[in-house]
Structure 1
Amino acid sequence: MNTIAEHIADFLKQYPPFDNLNFEELSEIATSIRVINLEKYKTLFQINDVLHDSFYVVASGVINLSVIADAEETLLNKCVEGDIFGLRPFFAKNNYMMTAKAREESIIYAIPIAVFRPFVAHNPEVLDFLLQSFATNTSNPADKENLSGKLISDNVYFSDQQSEMQYVQLLNYNNTPLKVAPTAIVQDVAKQMTDALTTGAIVAENNIPIGIVTNTDMCSKIATGRFLVTSTIDKIMSSPVVTVIENISLAEAQLIMLKNNVTHLCVTKDGSDKSDIKGIISEHDLIVAQANNPGVLIKEIKRSQSTKDLKLIRDRLTNLIQKSIQKNISLSNINNIASEINSAIIKRSLELAILDLGSPPVRFAWLSIGSQGRKEQLLCTDQDSILIFEDVTADKYRDVKDYFLKLGKRTTSNLEKTGYPLCPNGHMGSNMLWCKSLTDWTKQYNNWINTPGENSNEISSIFFDFEIAFGEQKIEEAIENVIFNNVKNNALFFDFLGNDALRKNSPLTFFKKFNIEEEGEHKKKFDIKTRALMPLIDGARLFALSQNIRGVNNTYLRFKQLAIVDPKNAEIYLNCAEAFLTLSKFRTLEGLKNDSSGQYINLQELSKVDKENLKNALAPMRELEELIKTKFKLTQFS
């Protein structure tokens, strides 16, 4: 082996994942490596470039990885000595999604994927390292202390909740695959594949897979003349078939294809080649799945030019939520993802309204309240929002408010066209009651907190669950300060809020039967929103405000946070957190099934096990109720 290759092998041995290979293997790889000298500011590859046949390791210097978002180039990461980047050709077929440019004069090692792939397939540690990085968009998964040797994904998108979004990479595939008998003639199968517009056919006996034939087999075995077109298909099929279980994730499918060096996977009932065929996954399906990545949806939202575009994306979100639940992905992760996409749609709806109306006369903030303010809006429930604009002089107030009312109406109309119904109670930024200046909003919150119950029968507690969707962050912070400064030691406010939380009817009767609706269109159904979810939401809000927990509006996370700040009652809070997720899942499934808000559960359609699970999830509510009475000394309430 030449001395340059030896030097490269020695260098690679210091860094993961190469430290999992022996020197002999590294030496073999090193002889195929190209050394690239990149001058300062020289680009190695850029967004939308066709994929290279290699991935890269920084030998010296610094490489900047960046993307273009909102017409700005944003630096994602700096790769230094030992860092790996440009992995995209390993796992995806679509073009690069970032730019790699030398920040200073650099030396790069280009490692051919064809040479490296066999070592990956036979070294699970190497494979896991590469795949985990690519699939989760993290830095080096082995590198918790940010040491050198980071591995940078090329599957990047933007989001404040970036770390949460990686959990959902869903895979739709052909669940009516072309199946042929082993005695079928090659020529006939080729025609069937062409007619079905498919790149693969499963060879089956009694719906059990015994082989697979792909376009590659047709090209390498028939077109080359090795076999005649009159041969039976079993002569050219690949066997045994690589099989996977139903509801496989994108990351898992990528891993298995890479490991087995195949372009198609057969989906079976139990994942083995001894059970019934359920579908076929092709490389093309992986590319389509990446297009449904939540980050890709957010990019598409930012580029949308109409409510029609936004509606199509919102429909894809519904599909994403449904598939995520089927895969048993944690509901709290699904909530985060849905919230990010909903927020992006709200923001774009506002931007489209501003493009029509012209620039706002002063700074403002659009706050989502209610379920979206809590990051709990999985279904297309109605919109809830408020609009707060900067204080202006009295002579300008009317004109400024007039602009923002128009903006509110245009935005809520855009959202309605996108699929979010208008709030029947009028809790929206388009309503003159909920579109006002910061000073007016300050007075409103002061009244709600210091004289609760006066001038209104309810405190409109959803106004205490908010998240900025667009505008000036400082305005949101100002409102938060008003709330937390006023609630401190405010017994009257907590007395009112506590009684309000306890006023909801119990979900179960004295005999532990479900409290169902007795009349109306939902007769005999269980109101899971009012009787089960709202008491938990109200309880979490009440305790979070009393414990001065800021910046956490999500019910599940509020309970988790309460368990930390009030360890004596941690068990109650944690039980309530889990109950909230379980009940939310019941509601979401009901809503998806009936294209509704999921508020009313038809108990007759639930299995005995589901009914029991639903009943068990209601158990912690009794403890929460007692805790509210004890903490806030509420012995009598109306």
Structure 2
Amino acid sequence: MHNSEIILSLLKTTAPFHVLQESVQKSLVDLMTKCTFSKEELIYRQGITDIDGVDLIYKGQYETFFLDNMENKRSIEIHENPYCFGGISVLLNRKKALKSVMVKKGTIIYRLPRKDFFELCNANEEFFHFFTNAFGRKMLEEEFSHFVKSPASFEESYYAADQLYSRKIDNIIYKDIVSTDYNTPIYEAAKIMSSNKVSCIFIMQKDKIVGYATDITLRDNVIAKQIQADKAIGTVMDNPIVSISNQAILYEAVLMMFRTKTKYLLVEKDGEYVGFLSRNRLLSEQGQSPLVFIQSVKLAESLTELKDKWDNVPKIINQLLGRGVNAAVANQVITMIADTIAIKVIEKTIHNMGPPPAKFVFMVTGSEGRKEQTLKTDQDNAIIYEDKANEQREYVRDYFLKFANQVSDDLNKIGFVYCTGGYMASNPAWTHSLSHWKNNYKSWIEDTIPENAIKFSTFFDCRRLYGDKGIIDELKSFLNHELQKPNERFFLL
């Protein structure tokens, strides 16, 4: 077999790379570096060695273990093909090796660089959650948790590992229960899940929860088995129902989830079910890195929860800077978190107001548009919507002005303050149709008074945050065309 064929075969058989689409797997082949070991040697030492990437074992063995104070090996594990080492260390332990590794003679591995691994985690949630779930399972092992929660790197991190053993369920925000009757048709249950934006619906029979259905339930029990969508949802539901007291600690919840193999846990308070937890959400609460923190932001629902996330961003950034991460990378983390929060607010507003009456794009401008977001950046945004017939224009404009005001107000409540210069979508001057925006840019270019120069510079760095990409592409194409024209009055000072 050629080297590329070997690597592709390795990716197809090694978890979690095997869940990636084949086109993605093929794109990774040229990124992989081959490493061959001719003797036994300690290649990673826990808490000291930097992890340059994740290692996929092709031949041979990795012996992983912890070294105690007497340099004795503890929690020894032998790993062979197929196995991926390093993912948890890169994501959850500040890029330091979580365990020590002794490589055996004759071992061959292929290594994917750290930055490419991060990109995969960002793009594929199932791939990413493989490592957070694996970490959660390992933390249930007494010896593993003993060594993991001791290093300073974990104690210094935003969510200290020992919170798993002290934080109560009642102190985290769990999801409201969305339910339906046992006899509800499958397609109606799916509609309820879609409208409530949940991946789990609980099934009621005689005022009692008797099971639940998830996206995976619909895939495995309905589509894969070609079940008619008008059958009762109760006939394809999953169970048993597992619950836990709201006064229990997170460790108990994680332990119960893995012991019962359930991904959803009902929260009980005073004899009643008051909400539920998903395994992914529970594990994300233990996030040890900005990447996992961003995932927890994606799972947030209420404005209160989003504000809490934003309020804690300075702690994340202080950790990054304290670890020697340069300011540009820290800035990218702030931008990614801010973008995630803004998108959550936009989606929440659309859910409350109903579908937009026209295609649109919500764009961020100025420093946000350049991805130079700081913790003190105010709102800089605008809305462009597609041109509609005359009889629809007033209705469309009214929708987007109300939409813009709601988004702006919610962002302000979270901590993204109003722009003092008024350069934001809630200002009617910055929410317009595409043709109106084209005229705006044209006038700014042709009439270069100082005020227009400021407007042009602010909105030149526009970036699509949410919505139809074609609209902003058309605007940029128009702008490029206009800038090609000779204009003696247009100068950059």
TM-score (normalised: structure 2): 0.50
Task: Compare CA radii of gyration and give the structure with the larger one.
Answer: 1
**Which structure has more RCO (C-alpha within 8 Å, separation ≥ 6)?**
2
TM-score (normalised: structure 1): 0.39
